[in-house]
């Protein structure tokens, strides 16, 4: 399913940095910035895409703009042998924007967006109602004190 995981070199890293700085910049502009030829940039970008280096566009959409200003993380404890079915059930809840299977206290860490506290309460109830879910622990995110970033890691390779 995944293509051969090809490891990025410094030029790829610089490409990603330039893209982070300006996601809309054209191949010509990138080539110019990096001092490469347009052909090279196009070839590398294609390889990056093919290798799965880019995730879905969803991630760039601000949930707040969609009317979901609140984010919460819900730790979910489940009957482990029902895990597979539970994931399927949870996937039906639209407010769940992401879920990780975890090693640690909880079995699942679910990321939820919601309109307000009452909404969160309702969603939590929906999760609890799933067959095999035993317990949840909800924590509301008060703020994204470090906004998602990859630039420090990119810079380190640059």
Partner DNA sequence: AAAATAGTGAGCAGAGTGCCCTATTCAGGC
Partner DNA sequence: GCCTGAATAGGGCACTCTGCTCACTATTTT
Residue of 79, 96, 69 lying closest to 134 (CA atoms):
79
- Residues with Cβ < 8 Å from 25, sequence gap 6 or more? 18, 19, 33
Q: Quick one: 37 or 80, whose CB is closer to DNA? A: 37
- For the chain, how big is the Rg over CA atoms in Å? 20
Residue of 110, 100, 114, 117 lying closest to 71 (CA atoms):
114
Shortest distance in whole angstroms from residue 13 CB to DNA: 12
Q: Quick one: 40 or 138, whose CB is closer to DNA? A: 40
Of 13-72, which residues contact DNA (CB under 7 A)?
26-29, 35-40, 42-44
Q: Can you say whether residue 24 is alpha, beta or left, with left for phi > 0 and alpha for psi between -120 and 50 degrees?
A: alpha
Shortest distance in whole angstroms from residue 109 CB to its own copies: 6
Shortest distance in whole angstroms from residue 75 CB to its own copies: 9
Distance in angstroms (rounded) separating the CA atoms of residues 122 and 136: 13
Q: Quick one: 29 or 87, whose CB is closer to DNA? A: 29
Residue of 138, 100, 147 lying closest to 117 (CA atoms):
138
Should residue 135 be labelled a site residue for its own copies when binding is judged by CB under 8 A? no
Of 94-113, which residues contact its own copies (CB under 8 A)?
94-106, 108-111, 113
Should residue 140 be labelled a site residue for its own copies when binding is judged by CB under 8 A? yes
Residue 117: contacted member of its own copies, DNA, none (CB under 5 to 8 Å, by partner type):
none
- Interface positions with DNA (CB under 7 A): 11, 26-29, 35-40, 42-44
């Amino acid at each position: 399913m995944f293509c051969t995981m090809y490891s990025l070199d410094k030029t790829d890293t610089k490409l990603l940095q330039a893209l982070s700085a300006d996601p809309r910049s054209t191949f010509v502009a990138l080539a110019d910035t990096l001092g490469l030829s347009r052909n090279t940039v196009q070839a590398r970008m294609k390889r990056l895409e093919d290798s799965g280096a880019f995730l879905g566009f969803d991630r760039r959409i601000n949930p707040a703009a969609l009317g979901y200003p609140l984010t919460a993380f819900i730790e979910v404890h489940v009957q482990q042998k029902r895990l597979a079915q539970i994931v399927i059930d949870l996937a039906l809840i639209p407010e769940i924007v992401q879920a990780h299977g975890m090693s640690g206290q909880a079995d699942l860490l679910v990321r939820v967006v919601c309109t307000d506290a009452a909404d969160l309460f309702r969603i939590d109830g929906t999760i609890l109602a799933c067959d095999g879910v035993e317990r949840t622990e909800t924590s509301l995110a008060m703020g994204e004190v470090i906004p998602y970033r990859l630039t420090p890691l990119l810079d380190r390779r640059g």
